[in-house]
Amino acid sequence: MFSISANQLRIEYPIYDSYKRSLRHQFGLGQIARNLDQALKRKHSVGGDIAQEASGRTTITALNGISFDIQEGDRVGLLGHNGSGKTTLLRAIAGIYEPMDGEITIEGHVTPLFDIQFGMDTDATGIENIALRGRMLDMSSTQIEETIDEIAEFTELGNYLHMPIRTYSTGMMVRLAFGVSTAIKPEILVLDEMIGAGDDAFFERAQQRLKNFIEDTGILVIASHNMGMVRQWCNKGMLMQHGNILAFGPIEEIAKRYESGEGTVD
């Protein structure tokens, strides 16, 4: 059984003030910018808690001691304004960020798809990039060999697969990246926004493939502002604000609370 459990998970970012060493400071712009920044902070509260230390270091609390349990079969949509902690949580699940306090426990292999074109080599051919991207997605050589014909057929790139991908149009590049990224069967899949599907002619086929891809996933956690997609693919929602969880439950209930303005910047 796959699962994700967090117990009082806390993540902070230290940010050091380097304005004194910059050209902005030499022209007096650094202090002007700092004054404006402080004025805006008094008017608006965005993101996690921000603490200013005497040393000049600023600490942002991106996740403020959150706890939750996600079980196999859950498709969770993370909702909230920019800076609410959604992306930080995805990266914590993916193992990119370590907790400052508390813990996160993962049962199952996590596949993060934050950029479906990440790691692709423009000087390599389409076939070579299928193998390269497949290995980055933890596919074995056997799995790559078993899926390469299916990926090639899906992309409809024909002989272009034997050419360097620097010769591809943007749409062709997306087709290739999309085809490889959705050829796997993740145990736990984390997405920051939905995977792009390319041009209109390709969209319908891509949607069916994406549907099958998500259905084959043990657990899905996605951060997105596309409420149509969230409602279509998710059965649960997590509403976040300033690094805290305001609500976690059935997707329609959480979506309505988000759309009513709850969890927006205050």
Determine the angle formed by the axes of helices 170-181 and 141-155, rounding to 10 degrees. 140
DSSP 184-249: S--SEEEEESPPP--SHHHHHHHHHHHHHHHHT-SEEEEE-S-HHHHHHH-SEEEEEETTEEEEEE
Is residue 38 domain-resident?
yes
pLDDT at 78: 96
Q: Does 132 map to a domain?
A: no
How far is CA 147 from each of CA 144, 158, 160, rounded to the nearest angstrom? 5, 16, 18
pLDDT digits (tens, 9 = 90+) for 227-253: 988 999 999 999 999 999 999 999 999
CA 115 to chain centre: 8
- In a domain, residue 144? The reply is no
Domain assignment present for residue 121? The answer is: no
Partners of 222 in the β-ladder: 77, 191
Q: C-alpha distances in angstroms, 244 versus 68, 81, 211, 214? A: 11, 12, 30, 27
Residue 239: per-residue pLDDT: 97
Q: pTM for this one?
A: 0.80
How far is it, in rounded angstroms, from Cα 237 to Cα 197? 24
Domain-embedded: residue 219: yes
**What is the reported pLDDT for 151?**
93
Reading the block at residue 3, the tokens are 């699962």
What is the predicted pLDDT for the residue at 82? 87
Is residue 60 situated within a structural domain? yes
**pLDDT for the residue numbered 5:** 97
Q: What is the dihedral of CA 190, 193, 194, 196, to 10 degrees?
A: -120
Phi-psi region of 180 (alpha: psi -120 to 50; beta: other; left: phi over 0): alpha
**Cα angle 71-72-75, degrees, rounded to a multiple of 5:** 85
Cα–Cα distance measured from residue 204 to residue 224, given in angstroms and rounded to the nearest whole number: 20
Share of the chain above pLDDT 70, in %: 80
Domain count, the chain: 1
- Is residue 76 assigned to a domain? yes
What CATH number is associated with residue 192?
3.40.50.300
- The answer to whether residue 231 sits within a structural domain is yes
Q: 46-94 pLDDT, tens per residue?
A: 555 655 555 556 778 899 999 999 999 999 999 999 889 999 999 999 9
Domain, as residue range, for 92: 1-109+186-266
pLDDT of 103 over the 80 cut: yes
Per-residue pLDDT tens over the stretch 174-205: 889 999 999 989 999 999 876 665 566 677 77
Residue 79 has what pLDDT? Answer: 96
